[in-house]
Amino acid sequence: MFYCAGSLRQLTFRYKIAHIEQNVIFARMKKLYIETYGCQMNFADSEVVASILKDLYTLTDDVQEADLILINTCSIRDKAEQRIHKRLHELEALKKKHRTLQVGLLGCMAERMKEELLETEPILNFIAGPDAYRNLPELIAESAQGEAKFNVLLSEDETYDNIMPVRYDLNGVSAYVSIMRGCNNFCTYCVVPYTRGRERSRSPQTIMAEVDQLLQDGYKEVTLLGQNVNSYRWEEDGEVVTFAKLMEMVALKSSQLRVRFATSHPKDISDELLEVIAKYENICKYIHLPVQSGSDNMLKKMNRVYTRDYYMERVRKIKELMPDCAISTDIIAGFCGETLEDHEQTLSVMREVGYEYAYMFKYSERGGTMSAKRFQDDIPDEEKTRRLEEIIALQGELSLASNQRDVGKTFRVLVEGVSKRSADQLYGRNSQNKVIIFPKGEHQVGDYIDVTVTRCTAATLFAD
């Protein structure tokens, strides 16, 4: 769910309806096509970008008719960047056909590669880093004159605070709300602190205004987003709003609104926060707690600043306060100098926690990071693949075992859409973030319903 590199989020019918009037009035308004890669933060950013450009462009889901194509990119692993290079080459034919078509590249790749990209990718008219989106109208206008432009300045305070994102998700039920930007953690393998800059929190007033608007628009679920939401902090007139406090404020808005959050750093997952999650029924019992490795040696080298024992103590606290809480994780296979013993430790921490789900990656060296500077990327690719496959196979077993424990249980599900397999079936998620498929009956998207699980696979629960 968190990293879906390459996926393409298309615009909704709802959005188009909302803009029909605008289309009629401004019959010659230009068309914008946005393609988003990477994490949820990027999807939330694309909604901010759509909002910044809403007076200049209408959104389209047909790339062929676009006057402006924006590619919002991810740099977290080399594979993600390669995919984007490939996509840019695919778009070259379109650019030859439409001479006035503009193509802009946004996000982490713009920030990492800066103006070098304009030379290596001549299709690009402009590039804009994650803190430069307010400058997009100028970049678009200036680059239309012929010369490629860029703005990759990082800011210490940009949070796009006052911008109400244009929602272009498919279901109109769940929405992302960005509460902070950047990261100060400097895990040695990670490029994010360099591409997204320093940590900064958004004011609670504007967050709550956005939540109010979502409630008015009929949304039933919000996910509070940040690279490390646990270190959210806002201080004004001597009063401090922590992440725990913010979660409580959002949860109290309406008992009909589900609240989720992503992502947590284990070092900051406080008892105060866990108690708030446990206290409110509408805060989902699901925590994404990236472990990265089960070996203390690797954790130290990664600068994760916790030990395996500390991590396990946090897991025990979660289970003590919320026995039904699902936990997912991120794991990196084949980090610099990882021995077979370190790898075994990762497999054993996975078994010990019994994760419901995991996002699993091979280590990918990123230029400019501490690990690229200090350590050798010395695990051969085939060995990384072998270790990753072992991790994936184990997670398959753990997910299946967790799902099997749910057979016979009844869960409240928020209906999100029609199942891809059959128009007679709907799907939704339970509080633990598990997808459940069930017969349509009289139910509508956006309803809360109670279903009893009758069977499962490792990926999905099925209910009557």
Residues that bind ligand 5AD in the complex, under the rule CB under 6 A = 3, 76-77, 189-190, 290, 292, 330, 332, 361, 363-364, 366
CB 416 within 8 A of CB 428: yes
Provide the token pair at 126. 């402009």
In degrees and rounded to multiples of 5, residue 235 shows phi and psi of -120, 125
Any residues with CB less than 8 A from the CB of 257 and at least 6 apart, and which? 211, 215, 219, 220, 221, 222, 250, 251, 282
Binding to ligand SF4 by residue 193, rule CB under 6 A? yes
First to last CA, the chain: 25
3-state secondary structure 131-146: CCHHHHHHHHHHHCCC
Please give the Cα distance from 38 to 6 (Å, whole number): 7
Please identify, using beta-carbon distances, which residue of 10 and 364 lies nearer to ligand 5AD: 364
Q: How many residues bind ligand SF4 (CB under 6 A)?
A: 10
Min separation Cβ 332 and ligand SF4, Å:
9
Please give the Cα distance from 413 to 428 (Å, whole number): 6
| Binding partner of residue 227 among ligand SF4, ligand 5AD, none, CB cut-off 5 to 8 Å per kind | ligand SF4
Question: Where in 236-265 is the site for ligand SF4 (CB under 6 A)?
Answer: 265
| Binding partner of residue 366 among ligand 5AD, ligand SF4, none, CB cut-off 5 to 8 Å per kind | ligand 5AD
Min separation Cβ 19 and ligand 5AD, Å:
34
| Binding partner of residue 228 among ligand 5AD, ligand SF4, none, CB cut-off 5 to 8 Å per kind | ligand SF4
Min separation Cβ 30 and ligand SF4, Å:
35
| Binding partner of residue 288 among ligand SF4, ligand 5AD, none, CB cut-off 5 to 8 Å per kind | none
Question: Where in 265-304 is the site for ligand SF4 (CB under 6 A)?
Answer: 265
How many other CB atoms are found less than 10 A from the CB of residue 145?
A: 7
| Binding partner of residue 361 among ligand SF4, ligand 5AD, none, CB cut-off 5 to 8 Å per kind | ligand 5AD
| Binding partner of residue 185 among ligand SF4, ligand 5AD, none, CB cut-off 5 to 8 Å per kind | ligand SF4
Question: Tokens 């990753």 label which residue?
Answer: 388
Min separation Cβ 311 and ligand SF4, Å:
14
Please identify, using beta-carbon distances, which residue of 91 and 229 lies nearer to ligand 5AD: 229
Please identify, using beta-carbon distances, which residue of 77 and 429 lies nearer to ligand 5AD: 77
Provide the token pair at 166. 């244009």
- Buried b / exposed e over 166-205, threshold 16 CB at 10 Å, is bbbbbbbbbbbbbbbbbbebebbbbbbbbbbbebbbbebe
Please give the Cα distance from 440 to 428 (Å, whole number): 11
In degrees and rounded to multiples of 5, residue 429 shows phi and psi of -120, 150
Binding to ligand SF4 by residue 227, rule CB under 6 A? yes
By beta carbon distance, the residue nearest ligand 5AD is: 330
Please identify, using beta-carbon distances, which residue of 43 and 189 lies nearer to ligand 5AD: 189
CB 43 within 8 A of CB 176: yes
Please give the Cα distance from 464 to 443 (Å, whole number): 13
Please give the Cα distance from 96 to 118 (Å, whole number): 17
CA dist 29 → 60, 172, 301 (Å): 11, 25, 53
| Binding partner of residue 231 among ligand SF4, ligand 5AD, none, CB cut-off 5 to 8 Å per kind | none
Please give the Cα distance from 122 to 342 (Å, whole number): 44
Please identify, using beta-carbon distances, which residue of 183 and 353 lies nearer to ligand SF4: 183
List alpha helices for 123-219, DSSP H: 136-143, 192-195, 204-216
Min separation Cβ 193 and ligand SF4, Å:
5
| Binding partner of residue 183 among ligand 5AD, ligand SF4, none, CB cut-off 5 to 8 Å per kind | ligand SF4
Please identify, using beta-carbon distances, which residue of 280 and 310 lies nearer to ligand SF4: 310
Min separation Cβ 86 and ligand SF4, Å:
25
Please identify, using beta-carbon distances, which residue of 182 and 428 lies nearer to ligand SF4: 182
Bridging pattern class, strands 425-429 and 435-439: antiparallel
Please give the Cα distance from 77 to 72 (Å, whole number): 15
Here's the x/- map for ligand SF4, 153-192, by CB under 6 A: it reads as ------------------------------x-xxx--x-x
Please give the Cα distance from 146 to 40 (Å, whole number): 33
| Binding partner of residue 363 among ligand 5AD, ligand SF4, none, CB cut-off 5 to 8 Å per kind | ligand 5AD
| Binding partner of residue 95 among ligand 5AD, ligand SF4, none, CB cut-off 5 to 8 Å per kind | none
Please identify, using beta-carbon distances, which residue of 346 and 431 lies nearer to ligand 5AD: 346
Please identify, using beta-carbon distances, which residue of 185 and 270 lies nearer to ligand SF4: 185
| Binding partner of residue 329 among ligand SF4, ligand 5AD, none, CB cut-off 5 to 8 Å per kind | none
Per CB under 6 A, residues contacting ligand SF4 are 183, 185-187, 190, 192-193, 227-228, 265
